[in-house]
Amino acid sequence: MSTPLAVGPVIPNFGGGGSQGLTCVQQNRLFCPSWVSSNWSNVLWPALRQHIVLTVIAVGIGFAISLALAVLATRARWLERPVVAVAGILFTIPSLALFELLTPIKGLGLSVTTAEVALVSYTLLILFRNISTGLREVPADVREAAEGVGMTSGQILWRVELPLALPAIVAGLRTATVTVIALATVAAVVCNEGLGAPIFAAIQEDVFKTELIAAGLLAIGLAILADVLLVGLQRVLTPWARARSV
C-alpha cells in the first residue's frame, strides 16, 4: 500500500513533426529499455525487493509448518491423511478467489498478512508431501542401526532422518519457491506489493506494455535464480548423494 506505482499515463506529443523526434515511450512501442532504466530505482527494484521478501517469508513459514507436521506424522501416522486433505483443498482454491475470500476476515483485510496467509497455504501441500516422503524413505535398516547404537529419537531425526530426506526436501522447496514467486504477482490485488503491482498498474492504466513485460521478466528471472540457488544448496549439503562409485 505504500510505494508510488508506475509513471503516469503517456503524455501525447502535440509538437507534430513525424515520429523521428519521439521517444520510445511516446511512440508506445512494445518494450522500451529507456523506461526500464529510468524507472528501475523507483518502481522495478522496490517491487522486486518486495517480491523476494514476500516469497522468502511465505516459503519460510510454509516450510516450518510443513516440517513440524511431517515430523509429527512420522510419529503419529494417522495425521498424514487429514493434513494432505486440508492442504490439498487449500492448494486447489484458485489464487484470486483465495485472496478475495481472505480479505473480509477481520484482522486481515487488504494487507501483506493476507497475501502471506494465501501464499503459505499454497506451499503446504507441496512441502508436506515432499518432506514426509523423504522421511518415510529412510531405509529401515538405517533407522534400526541408529536406534541400536543408542541415538535418542531427537538425534535420529536430526542426525539421520532429516539429512537423508534432504534431497526430497530440497525438491519440495524448489517447487514451492517457484510456485510462490508466480503466485506472489497475483498477491498485489490485496497488498499492492511485489512485481504484481506494476503488472496490475499496466493492465489498468493504458496500453503501454513495457512495465508489464519488465516486471514479468523479472519474476521469471527470479524464479530461475531461486531454483539454481536451491540446486546448488542441495549439492553442497549432500556430497554423499554423488559419491556412488569409486
Partner 1 sequence: MTEDTAQREGPSAFAPAATLELRSVTKRYPGQRVPAISDLSFHVPAGEVCVLVGPSGSGKTTAMRLINRMIPLTSGDILLGGRSVLDRRPDELRREIGYVIQQIGLFPHLTIADNIGTVPRLLGWERRRIARRVDELLELVGLGDGEIRDRYPAQLSGGQRQRVGVARALAADPPLMLMDEPFGAIDPINRVRLQDEFLRLQAQVRRTVVFVTHDIDEAIKMGDRIAILREGGVLAQYASPEEILTSPADDFVAQFVGVDRALKRLALTRLSDLELVAANGVPANGRRVPLRTNVHDALSLILAAGGAPLTVVDGDGQVAGLVTLDLVAGLLGPGGQIAVRPAADVVAEEGV
Determine the Cα–Cα distance for residues 156 and 34; give it in Å rounded to an integer. Answer: 57
**Residue 164 lies near partner 1 (rule: CB under 8 A):** yes
Of residues 150, 204, 207, 236, which one binds partner 1 by CB under 8 A?
A: 150
**Residue 16 lies near partner 1 (rule: CB under 8 A):** no
**Residue 145 lies near partner 1 (rule: CB under 8 A):** yes
Residue number, 163 or 216, with CB nearest to partner 1:
163
**Segment interacting with partner 1 (CB under 8 A) among 64-72, 83-91, 114-122, 139-147:** 139-147
Of residues 42, 163, 212, 217, which one binds partner 1 by CB under 8 A?
A: 163
Of residues 146, 195, 201, 230, which one binds partner 1 by CB under 8 A?
A: 146
- State the nearest-atom distance from the C-beta of 142 to partner 1, in Å: 5
**Residue 238 lies near partner 1 (rule: CB under 8 A):** yes
Take residue 155 and report the three cell numbers written for it: 538425534
Of residues 91, 101, 147, 213, which one binds partner 1 by CB under 8 A?
A: 147
Residue number, 65 or 162, with CB nearest to partner 1:
162
Place of cell 498478512: 113
CA 199-205-206 angle, to 5 degrees, is: 100
CB atoms within 10 A of CB 206: 13
**Close Cβ partners of 123 (under 8 Å, ≥ 6 residues apart):** 58, 59, 62, 63, 66, 176, 179, 180
**Residue 151 lies near partner 1 (rule: CB under 8 A):** yes
On whether the CB atoms of residues 126 and 169 are closer than 8 A, the answer is no
Take residue 137 and report the three cell numbers written for it: 524413505
- State the nearest-atom distance from the C-beta of 140 to partner 1, in Å: 8
**Residue 245 lies near partner 1 (rule: CB under 8 A):** yes
**Residue 75 lies near partner 1 (rule: CB under 8 A):** no
**Residue 233 lies near partner 1 (rule: CB under 8 A):** no
**Residue 28 lies near partner 1 (rule: CB under 8 A):** no
Q: By the criterion CB under 8 A, which residues form the site for partner 1? A: 139-152, 155, 160, 163-164, 238-240, 243-246
